[in-house]
Structure 1
Amino acid sequence: MADFEKQLRDYRLTTAEILYHMPDHPALLQTYVWQDYDMAPRFPVLQQFLDFWESSLDGRLHSVKVASTEIITPSDMRFTEALKTLH
């Protein structure tokens, strides 16, 4: 599905800041920033990514901060009433 089509289906641009423990030095935290289109408030795409992380990667998750916003809002998208060409 194209990004614009996702936005029309109520997907929102979602950014997650993921803090995780470094595998070789568990006392140290590393940051990973993830961004994709997802559906608030359940965030199934992010949840699928975090499930993959926990099952396949060595760095144990510490915390996840999520920010999400609509890209297209009713005031941003309007149909024009006329098309004019200037010569």
Structure 2
Amino acid sequence: MRFASELEMQLAGYGLTTAHIFYRLPDFDSLLQTYLWQDYDLAPDFPQMHKFLDFWKQNLDGPLHSVRYAHKRLIGPNEWRQVSGEITLH
């Protein structure tokens, strides 16, 4: 599904997902590197994050060690309401 703006994504239930990825260097197996990834994603399945991690496994040489992630919906149901009128003073 394509969205015209980030606001439309947030209204559709997308939230900001941050993944802290630990991976090993190909030539130095004892060293861990980190990579931060952020994108709008749908909890609890996280299709965008899984798509990125699958790309990593198939195309990059550094094997994954672990992934920590956090997710926050930026617009919740109680923060959005429709305004049916507007009153202007002065």
Q: What TM-score do you get using the length of structure 2 for normalisation?
A: 0.85
**Aligned-pair Cα RMSD in Å:** 1.4
Q: Return structure 1 stretches of 4+ with deviation > 6 angstroms.
A: none
Structure 1 position 19, deviation (Å)? 0.3
Q: Deviations over 1:8-51 (max 9, x none)?
A: 11111100000000122111000100000001111000000000
Whole-angstrom CA distance in 1 between matches of 2:46 and 2:76: 19
> Residue 44 of structure 1 aligns to which amino acid in structure 2?
P
Identity %: 49
Counterpart for residue 82 of structure 1: 86
Give the TM-score of the pair, scaled to structure 1: 0.88
69-78 or 52-61, which deviates more:
69-78
> Shift of residue 3 of structure 1?
1.2
Corresponding residue to 1:24 among 14, 18, 27: 27
Deviations 1:29-79 (A, max 9, x none): 001000000011110000000000000001000000110011012333344
Give the match for residue 62 of structure 1. Answer: 65
Deviation at 1:85, TM superposition (A): 4.9
1:44 counterpart (47, 61, 65): 47
> Which of 4, 7, 10 pairs up with 2:7?
4
Unaligned runs of 5+ in 2: none
